[in-house]
Amino acid sequence: MRLLHLASFHILAALDAKIWWPLFPLLLMVVFVALSGAVIGAIRQKKSRTDVGLQILALGCYLLTAVVAIASEGSGRVPASLHRVPSLLTQVILLVQLVRIWKRPDARTLRVLNMIAWGAILADTALHYLMARG
C-alpha cells in the first residue's frame, strides 16, 4: 500500500505546472480545430439549421472560454475559475448535439469531431484537477 502511495505521489509531483503547461494550449487548439471543422462540415453538408446553430454556439462558447482563461492568467483581475462557466456551457451544448445526432447515419463526421472536442475539454479539466492536487 505504501508503494502505491509513493508511486501516486511521484506521478502527482511530475505534474508540475512548469512541465505540463504546454498541454493546455495544445488541448485548446485541438478543441478549436475540432469545433471549427464541425461548423464547416455542418455548413458544407447542408445540415439542419439546428445542427449548424448548435455547432456555432459550441464554438462561440469555447472561444469565450479561451478568452476568459487567457485573461485570468494576466493581471489577476479575472478569477482563475471563471472560465469554467463557459466551458461547462460548451460541454452541455456538445452533449445536447451528440444526443440529437447519435443515431443519425449522415452525422458521423459531426459525432467524431464533437467527441474529439469534448474529450480534449475533459482532458484539460482532468489535468487542471491533477495539477491542483499535486
Question: Could you give the CA distance from residue 113 to residue 54 in angstroms, rounded to a whole number?
Answer: 13
In sign, the C-alpha dihedral spanning 11, 12, 18, 24 is positive
Of 69 and 9, the structure prediction assigns the larger pLDDT to 69
Burial, 72: exposed, middle or buried (Cβ in 10 Å; 0-12, 13-18, 19+)?
Answer: middle
Q: Cell digits for 20?
A: 505540463
pLDDT band at 82 (very low <50, low <70, confident <90, very high): confident
14, pLDDT greater than 90? no
Q: Give the three-class secondary structure for 58.
A: helix
